[in-house]
């Protein structure tokens, strides 16, 4: 199929690349000429495992092209994906300006019947607004061209996006056109052979499904952080609690890891946007309020522990391992590390930070500062540091030589923002240990 995808961010670039991988002719459109030129020269602007190799191979084969020519891309496409950003507005609601501007562009250049697919995360009712915007432009031109508007939300996890696209858990399609559904089934057939993954529903339900999924996952994280805060106060270890409740199949082990809070491009803005949607329809979403409040507070927890240990941190140097909001990405949007660094700087501390992929992004986000050193190696971040803080659970951080860590630190203390270390092992190496919800007054059970 000839497919046009507007947007070359995480969603657009991964979706376009994977569709090209199975033989479709894909044109990815972006208004950023510099980014398009880079992609055409083999420069992939984001880090995502496995993506660069697929982009280069499919671009070389001719199946994947990048352009700024929206008019030509619309004219040649049978299916047009909208995969542009919907950043939060000042009130937290989703900003649809890019989506609606793109709908108008489609209406201005459409010359044959097409299927317009909303893949951006958008509030319920957006498909109606997209349809109206396209229809208005067609009417302005005085032409009658049939088109369908569908909702096909993405469920890609950063760090696993290529795998999620090639082997999806589900393919949600919201549509009111049988013809459009059949064409989408053909498009997704290569990803749907093992078993039926397509879930059909009406457009509005599909739009809400995306928000509901992210809100549920965010709720699990905030709930566990709430339990961790209780565990600290009652002398329980949240890691034991996690295993105890995760063994219940009704709960499961996924997304019940306490830590320094969630971040990224999806959970924070989607919880906010769903909250605002509910309020616009006269409903106060109390659970969503709590999810957001708990997460905002949790991002301050590590700094509170640092203050608890040192008192005044002015003049201290803090080593930070991990800047991205999660492993296997360089994305620092809403990352808990950003909150921590801001607090440390405000208190007069200096930061030596290392992240295997987000170092360049951090340099762009923070700029040149006297109180920040972005290091090229994990251990070099410890040179002259008073403490080590773990903020992102990259695999390379899981099994450090704690004896070496102790020797490099001026004050032997580790703050584990992701609970990946065994407190006894850290303390056996002569380091103080602080985790999230690790109530140390409870002895660890002996293995019989």
Among all residues, which ones are annotated catalytic?
A: 266
Rounded distance between C-alpha atoms, residue 116 and residue 73, angstroms = 13
Rounded distance between C-alpha atoms, residue 250 and residue 144, angstroms = 52
Query: Between the CA of residue 186 and those of 152, 180, 383, what are the distances in Å?
Result: 14, 10, 57
Rounded distance between C-alpha atoms, residue 321 and residue 299, angstroms = 16
How many Cβ atoms are within 10 Å of 155's Cβ, its own excluded?
17
Rounded distance between C-alpha atoms, residue 135 and residue 138, angstroms = 5
How many Cβ atoms are within 10 Å of 95's Cβ, its own excluded?
15
Sheet holding 387-390, edge to edge: 372-374, 350-354, 317-321, 387-390, 413-416, 432-434
Secondary structure, 3-state, the chain = CEEEEECCCHHHHHHHHHHHHCCCEEEEECCCHHHHHHHHCCCCCCCCCCHHHHHHHHHHHCCEEEECCHHHHHHHCCEEEECCCCCECCCCCECCHHHHHHHHHHHHHCCCCEEEEECCCCCCCHHHHHHHHHHHHHHHHCCCCCEEEEECCCCCCCCCHHHHHHCCCCEEEECCCHHHHHHHHHHHHHHCCCCCCEEEECHHHHHHHHHHHHHHHHHHHHHHHHHHHHHHHHCCEHHHHHHHHHCCCCCCCCCCCCCCCCCCCCHHHHHHHHHHHHHHCCCCCHHHHHHHHHHHHHCCHHHHHHHHHHCCCCCCEEEEECCCCCCCCCCCCCCHHHHHHHHHHHCCCEEEEECCCCHHHHHHHHCCCCCEEECCCCHHHHCCCCEEEECCCCHHHCCCCHHHHHHHCCCCEEEECCCCCCHHHHHHCCCEEECCCECCCCCCCCCC
């Amino acid at each position: 199929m000839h497919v046009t995808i507007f947007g070359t961010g995480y969603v657009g670039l991964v979706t376009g690349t994977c569709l090209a991988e199975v033989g479709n002719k894909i044109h990815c459109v972006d208004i950023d000429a510099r980014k398009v030129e880079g992609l055409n020269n083999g420069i992939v602007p984001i880090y995502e495992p496995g993506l660069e190799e697929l982009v280069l191979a499919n671009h070389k084969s001719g199946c994947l092209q990048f352009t700024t020519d929206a008019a030509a891309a619309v004219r040649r496409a049978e299916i047009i994906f909208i995969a542009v950003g919907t950043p939060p507005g000042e009130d937290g609601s989703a900003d649809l300006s890019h989506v609606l501007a793109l709908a108008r562009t489609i209406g201005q250049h459409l010359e044959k019947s097409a299927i317009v697919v909303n893949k951006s995360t958008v509030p319920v009712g957006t498909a109606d607004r997209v349809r109206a915007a396209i229809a208005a432009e067609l009417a302005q031109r005085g032409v009658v061209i049939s088109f369908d508007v569908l909702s096909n939300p993405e469920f890609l996890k950063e760090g696993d996006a290529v795998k999620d696209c090639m082997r999806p858990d589900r393919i949600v399609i919201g549509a009111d056109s049988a013809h459009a559904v059949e064409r989408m089934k053909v498009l997704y057939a290569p990803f749907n052979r093992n078993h039926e993954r397509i879930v059909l529903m009406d457009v509005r339900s599909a739009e809400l499904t995306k928000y509901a999924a992210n809100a549920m996952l965010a709720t699990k994280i905030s709930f566990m952080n709430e339990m961790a805060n209780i565990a600290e106060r009652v002398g329980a270890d949240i890691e034991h609690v996690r295993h105890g409740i995760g063994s219940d199949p009704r709960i499961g082990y996924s997304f019940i890891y306490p830590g320094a809070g969630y971040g990224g491009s999806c959970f924070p803005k989607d919880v906010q946007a769903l909250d605002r949607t509910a309020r616009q329809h006269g409903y106060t979403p109390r659970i969503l309020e709590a999810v957001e409040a708990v997460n905002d507070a949790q991002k301050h927890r590590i700094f509170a522990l640092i203050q608890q240990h040192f008192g005044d941190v002015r003049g201290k140097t803090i080593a930070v391992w991990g800047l991205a909001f999660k492993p296997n990405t360089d994305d620092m949007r809403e990352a808990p590390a950003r909150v921590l660094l801001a607090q440390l700087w405000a208190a007069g501390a200096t930061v030596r930070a290392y992240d295997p992929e987000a170092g360049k992004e951090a340099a762009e986000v923070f700029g040149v500062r006297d109180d920040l050193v972005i290091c090229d190696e994990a251990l070099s971040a410890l040179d002259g540091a008073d403490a080590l803080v773990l903020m992102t659970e990259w695999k390379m951080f899981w099994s450090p030589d704690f004896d070496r860590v102790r020797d490099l630190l001026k004050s032997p203390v580790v703050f584990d923002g992701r609970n990946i270390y065994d407190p006894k092992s850290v303390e056996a190496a002569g380091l103080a240990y602080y985790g999230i919800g690790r109530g140390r007054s409870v002895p660890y059970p002996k293995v019989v």
